[in-house]
A = this chain, B = another copy of it.
Amino acid sequence: MPEKIIAVFGAGNVSEGDWEWQTAFSIGRELAARGMIVLTGGLGGVMTAASKGAKEAGGTTVAILPGTRKTSPANSFVDIAIYTGMGEARNAVNVKSCDAAIAIGGEYGTLSEIGLALKGNCPIILMNSWSLLSPGKKMQDWQVAEDPIAAVDMAIAAAG
C-alpha cells in the first residue's frame, strides 16, 4: 500500500542560520516522527533542511529533482531520488504525488508550487509565505500556520 507523503516546498538558497532552514528542519523531523514520508525537490536550502530533519527522526525521504543526477544531484539526506530532467515542470509532479503540502516562505518557485497545488486540489499549508488575493472572487483554498507543529497538524489532518 502506498504510504502517506507530505511535501515541503521552499527556497533553495537559504542557509542554516535562516528561519526558513530551522522551520523546514523542524517540520521534516515532526512529519517523520509521525510516520509520514517527506517529499521535497531534492536540492538545497529548505529542501535539504526538511530532508535532514526527517532523517534525524528515522524517516524516509523522497525527492523529485528538476535535472539529472549529473547536472543536479540530490542532497545527501534523500533516500529515493527521482530525476525528471524536466526543470520546473517537475513542480506539477510534486503536487500530484503528495497527500498534502507545506510551503515555507516565499520565492517565485514556491509561488508556482502553491498555484499548482491549488489548481490540482492538493491541500496546502502556508507558513510565512505569499499573501494572495484574487480579484473579485473569493478563492482561498489554503490554510495558514503560525508554527511548524501547527503546520504538521494541518497537513496530516488534510492528508486524511
Contact = CB atoms under 8 A, between A and B. Distances in A.
B79 A85 contact: no
A14 to B, nearest CB: 11
B112 A108 contact: no
Majority DSSP secondary structure for residues of A touching B: mixed
Nearest to A134: B106
B119 A132 contact: no
Contacts of A89: 84-86, 89-93
A111 B107 contact: no
B92 A3 contact: no
Interface string A117-138: 0111000000011111111110
Contact of A97 (B82, B110, B111): B82
A150 interface: no
A39 to B, nearest CB: 9
A96 interface: yes
Given A79-B3, A92-B91, A106-B139, A131 B132 contact: yes
A69 B115 CA distance: 19
